Structure 1
Amino acid sequence: MHTRNILGVSAAVMAALVLPVAAVAQSASAKAAVDSAKAAGVVGEQADGFLGFVTGAADPAVRSAVAEINAGRAQLYREAAAKNGVTAEAAGASAFKQVVESRLRPGEYYKPAGGGWTRK
């Protein structure tokens, strides 16, 4: 993949993730539940661009919120991939890098490819 494509994918994915309009299909309650779970160390960001469970102790509401947000991300990654001539997997990986670098708060967890959960 060329650097231009990576930057284009990153820009497209990050723009959609931060838009106030529902570019990523998620409800305000799902976002609030996931934000709270991330702060509590229950949910984290994975290298594939999707949310994952740091611990198995997530309640059904949090599991549902993660599923809702991940479904929206999957659609976003497919759209970004189609526009930029890359795979959806590459778009997700690009989004992960941007989220970890610019949006993940201290104390929240991420899981790099081939690694375990790491606290920022």
Structure 2
Amino acid sequence: MKNLLSKSAALLFCLLLIPASFAATLQEAKAEGLLGEQRDGYVGLVVADAPADIVAIVRDVNSQRRQRYEQIAQQNGITLQQVQSLAYEQAVEATQSGNYIQNASGAWVRK
């Protein structure tokens, strides 16, 4: 099981390298404090009144992540929730200082 989780972690890291078309805008939105990494392994809105283009980025990135998480879970014989948990851990490690992540209680905090 531990070996499967290690392989999954490597795959998840690759997933975090989203397509270049989203990367700059996603990183900019994170740097501006509009988006952050949620505990469920998805990107979330830090502010309730985010512009429509930011909401669209969240929807698109999360759709891509969901598809990939399902593939990883199936390929490794683990649950979607396990993949999401690993993805969150990887995302926190990859998050730049000053960007938002969700803490254990679900509150947005700066890393």
- Map 1:1-120 onto structure 2 (within 5 A): 2-18=1-17, 26=19, 28=21, 30-101=22-93, 103-120=94-111
Q: What do you get for the CA RMSD once the two structures are aligned? A: 1.6
Compute the TM-score of the two structures, normalised by the length of structure 1: 0.83
SS at 1:96 equivalent: helix
In the TM superposition, residue 5 of structure 1 has moved relative to its aligned partner by 2.5
In the TM superposition, residue 27 of structure 1 has moved relative to its aligned partner by 6.1
The residue type paired with residue 92 of structure 2 is V
Equivalent residue pairs, number: 111
Unmatched tracts of structure 1, length 5 or more: 19-23
The residue type paired with residue 15 of structure 1 is C
**Identity level (%):** 32
In the TM superposition, residue 6 of structure 1 has moved relative to its aligned partner by 2.0
Compute the TM-score of the two structures, normalised by the length of structure 2: 0.89
Q: Do the aligned residues in 2 keep the contact of 1:44 with 1:108 (CA within 8 Å)?
A: yes
Q: CA-to-partner distance for each residue in 1:75-115, whole Å, 9 max, x for gaps?
A: 010011011111122111101101211x1001100013433
Unmatched tracts of structure 2, length 5 or more: none
